[in-house]
Structure 1
Amino acid sequence: MNAEGKAGGFAPGVAKAEGALRALFPETPLQENDYLSKKTGARVFLKREDLTPVRSYKLRGAFNFFRKAIAGGATDGTFVCASAGNHAQGFAYVCRHFGRRGIVFMPVTTPQQKIDKTRIFGGDFVEIRLVGDFFDDCYRAAHVFAAESGGMMVPPFDHPDIIEGQATVALEIARQMHGESDARIGDSLVILPVGGGGLASGVTCYLRESGEPTEFAFAEPAGAASLQQALVEDRPVRLAQVDNFVDGAAVAEIGAEPFSHLQDFDARAVHLVPENRLCATMIEMLNIEGVVLEPAGALAIDALKNYAPETLRGRTVVAVVSGGNFDFERLPDVKERALRFEGLKKYFIFRFPQRPGALRDFLDLLGPEDDITRFEYLKKSARNFGSVLIGIETRNRANFDVLTQRFDKAGWAYQDITENDTIAGFII
């Protein structure tokens, strides 16, 4: 534990961090969401960390790390970080705030939009170095540089000062909930997104120390369940494979320091969020609420779908929205995944006869709500037949039951590859 927290526990240090943080931005709002409340039967509040100056909570931990490092005498050295996302932007913003030189290591494959935003936030105080094709490459390069140059590494989550900074989210929630006449944080279910664990460990530590009987749940991407696996095995473990779609939370191994605070939770408190279902939540929040969320920012909201209606009805729920740095170039992929999850879009490979009128015969089988979104010959598999990839979108998922019955009755040879990730990954 850091020096500020030793005397009276964790909360006093968090209070000092939160007070200092107000030099950067006001507290983010805790908003009651009528749409989600009506949908779930609960009273749902969203803690809008997507409304910080860098559109994520990462600014909090980075600021606290710098603040304490500078107070401890780190006045002349260079600060270093490795990140391709929100941590880099928070780091850059804080470098400019304190007037300290910082170097950000990013993979060569980082989207230009993220590079430009990091450069804008840091201004003349930040240098960006593109190293390697993958995060692990630039992470190693950053550590080597820091060791050889005497620079100070600013980790994204695995450090007590980072955790303390992220815990200011909990302090704000508690204060804001006390402003609600008929809601108390102690009666609430708090849902926290998890990547490396800095936010989850900070929030749970603070609220537990407050003595309020708060219930916690954690939301992880199904393809990057590092906290759940660590709780099952009672130690941090490195996942052999990670799905990077939820890039803000796709962490192969939970941080050692965060896990030391989270290790007594039951693995059943972790809700795994399927990536395609998460896309449906992102589109839902964009279309209905006008809220732009990155995949990691939608995790806690999506986890509400894991609860049976009767378990939420009448309760107070706080979902932490961790970030809104969404690259709209990804929107077509997000919409595609959402449609596939909702059963409104499917892909088939048909064995198409090479004869006049075959296409017309096929089109006659489609219903009034069915639309062909892709039609592509893959290869000629025989002299009289060809393999055709066909994407079909409809307005009601039940339409596909009717459609496949028509295909079968008409004698068409086909294969539904919608859920076949191996084949779909090659040709869709």
Structure 2
Amino acid sequence: MTDFAKAARDATQAMREVFPPTPLLRNAHLSDRYGAEVYLKREDLSPVRSYKLRGAFNAMRKRPDAGLFVCASAGNHAQGVAFMCRHFGVKGVIFMPVTTPQQKIQKTEIFGGDSVEIRLVGDYFDDTLAAAQGFCKEAGGHFLSPFDDEDVIEGQASVAVELIEQLGGAPDHLVIPVGGGGLSAGMLSYLGTDCQYTFVEPKGGACLHAALEAGRPVKLDHVNTFADGAAVGQIGQRTFARLKGVGLANTLTIPEDRLCTTMLEMLNVEGIVLEPAGALSVDALPDLGQAIAGRRVVCITSGGNFDFERLPEVKERAQKFLGLKKYFILRMPQRPGALKDFLGLLGPDDDIARFEYLKKSARNYGSVLIGIETREAGSFDKLFAKLDAGGFTYQDITDDDLLAQFVI
């Protein structure tokens, strides 16, 4: 056994004083769909609903003399650090962006109790991170990176240790979500070549893919924060050192809107609540196709910290991705009966979800912002053909992100 493997097993054993192993559950729905033995490693069922407390625990237990731990996070890392500060009875100062949802702040406060102080600094995470690191240096504390720390990587490897014990050996195929790389680096370092891997990233935060192309960690020009648990602008130096040999062929990038379809499916069919990053591994299964048929596959569901106030947005994104909802701007003639003519073109399964009409008396036409939901994506082809035949002028703005954000 390598030194890393032994350290990971020791860390896993020490964790049992704090929380039990997360379940490894065979999922019949996914197994039947993909013709494989699909298991979910349910990190969404940890005490803080993500795997992040593992790395925080390992880093803290190795520094028993540290009186102050500092971190910057707007989500799962903050909650893991807070939970462990209370467990070890040490002081923690957690910096979060001013824009952090109140629900996440409250959960961090609950986990940390009197052991944690939360400071809201900066509109953007880079500002928050700089403030946290500056404070840590002045106060003489220990800064806890969410992923780019050898002790954190070692702690996240405990997921692999548990997986092997629960499954009775390595799976044939392991699907792992990637953000900054702490979880994937830890699991790869522990399991080595015992299984095949697929590393999955959100399309708007594919920092591993970018690093593999460049041969080094690079900063992304823009990050889509929808899958905030994995939306990282640059992979860690230490994590990439362990991941640099995985190869682009073993990586996948998932569109954020497609993630929403999997989140809804897992909620409606299986009753499993996953955050966007937590759904990444499950969402990758259709892309793997025949590569996993007849094989034993494990997906890491990395987190379930989902705010249900976001559910309407998730449904909207899923419908748009599936082609079941569209927005367009329609030029409506300003004459009696024009609206009735338009409504007569709608099919039996077409439902108007949004309608805003601005009549301007000096013009012969008015602009209508309209949103339509339907049951079959092909219904829109029929509708647009009728609009063309009827002489209506319209513009589909569903995929125009800038315009859609402004008017929808």
TM-score (norm 1): 0.93
Matched residue of 2:284: which SS?
helix
Over residues 52-103 of structure 1, what are the superposed CA-to-partner deviations in whole Å (9 max), with x where a residue is unaligned?
A: 0000000000000000011xx32xx211010010000000000000000100
Counterpart position of 1:411 = 391
Task: Say if 2:51 is the partner of 1:57.
Answer: yes
Task: Say if 2:350 is the partner of 1:370.
Answer: yes
Task: Find the partner of 1:237 among 200, 215, 218.
Answer: 218
Over residues 129-183 of structure 1, what are the superposed CA-to-partner deviations in whole Å (9 max), with x where a residue is unaligned?
A: 00011111111000000011101101100000000000000001111111xxxxx
Look up the equivalent residue of 1:393 and give its one-letter code.
Answer: E
Aligned residues: 408
CA distance in 2, matches of 1:381, 1:169: 66
Counterpart position of 1:165 = 155
Counterpart position of 1:204 = 188
Task: Say if 2:385 is the partner of 1:402.
Answer: no
Residues 63, 317 of structure 1: alpha-carbon distance in 2 compared, 3 angstrom cutoff: same
Query: 1:107·1:135 contact (CA, 8 Å) conserved in 2?
Result: yes
CA distance in 2, matches of 1:53, 1:120: 12
Per the TM alignment, residue 307 of structure 1 is displaced from its structure 2 partner at its CA by 2.1
Task: Find the partner of 1:388 among 368, 382, 407.
Answer: 368
CA distance in 1, matches of 2:211, 2:381: 41
Task: Find the partner of 2:14 among 20, 23, 38.
Answer: 20
Task: Say if 2:278 is the partner of 1:297.
Answer: yes
Query: 2:220·2:234 contact (CA, 8 Å) conserved in 1?
Result: yes
Counterpart position of 1:11 = 5
CA distance in 1, matches of 2:236, 2:307: 27
Matched residue of 1:377: which SS?
strand
Listed as ranges, the gaps of 5+ residues in structure 2 are none
Counterpart position of 2:407 = 427
Identity fraction in percent: 60
Per the TM alignment, residue 381 of structure 1 is displaced from its structure 2 partner at its CA by 9.8
CA distance in 2, matches of 1:83, 1:400: 42
Matched residue of 2:63: which SS?
helix
Per the TM alignment, residue 265 of structure 1 is displaced from its structure 2 partner at its CA by 1.1
Per the TM alignment, residue 8 of structure 1 is displaced from its structure 2 partner at its CA by 3.9
Residues 403, 83 of structure 1: alpha-carbon distance in 2 compared, 3 angstrom cutoff: same
Q: RMSD of aligned C-alpha atoms? A: 1.2
CA distance in 1, matches of 2:200, 2:374: 31
Query: 1:276·1:337 contact (CA, 8 Å) conserved in 2?
Result: yes
CA distance in 1, matches of 2:303, 2:91: 25
Task: Find the partner of 1:46 among 40, 54, 57.
Answer: 40
TM-score (norm 2): 0.98
CA distance in 2, matches of 1:268, 1:142: 37
Per the TM alignment, residue 20 of structure 1 is displaced from its structure 2 partner at its CA by 0.5
Residues 25, 420 of structure 1: alpha-carbon distance in 2 compared, 3 angstrom cutoff: same
Task: Say if 2:135 is the partner of 1:150.
Answer: no
Displaced runs of 4 or more, over 6 A: none
Query: 1:345·1:393 contact (CA, 8 Å) conserved in 2?
Result: yes
Counterpart position of 2:233 = 252
Listed as ranges, the gaps of 5+ residues in structure 1 are 1-6, 179-183
